[in-house]
Amino acid sequence: MTMEERAGMAAELKHTGKANCAQAVLLAFQDKLGMSEEALRELGAGFGAGMGCMEGTCGALVGAGIAAGILNKGERNTVALSRQILAGFNEKSGATICKVLKGAGTGKVLCECDDCVRNGVKSLMEVIQF
């Protein structure tokens, strides 16, 4: 599956309400993660509306970080990979914190959720080659 196909799958899952942002990113990689849909949904369940209900990291970015850990088998360099994923996501989206992305308090939306999940998928795939 291409990057655009995976990104589109994640965006569709989020857009249709079938998954939160973290779950959408994780489910877009189900074929590579070797885990059931149920397990991936459980892993991402706590990151709807970002970490801490918009107060923290975007759920799409959290999902990409979780996927990186699974794909990298928890190796020590996963932290460095996560840093690269975060940098790519920030460049594409304009921020990494959910409420900043959604314009809470400013009224200026930097990146819609559908695009955040696309950016989470792309940022992961740019760092971890398939």
Asked if the model's pLDDT at residue 54 lies above 80, the reply is no
Cβ count near 100 (within 10 Å): 20
Encode pLDDT of 71-89 as tens digits.
Answer: 998 788 899 999 999 999 9
Q: In this predicted structure, what is the pLDDT of residue 68? A: 96
**Exposed, middle or buried: residue 20 (CB in 10 Å: 0-12, 13-18, 19+)?**
buried
Q: Is the torsion defined by CA of 88, 93, 96, 98 positive or negative?
A: negative
Asked if the model's pLDDT at residue 55 lies above 90, the reply is no
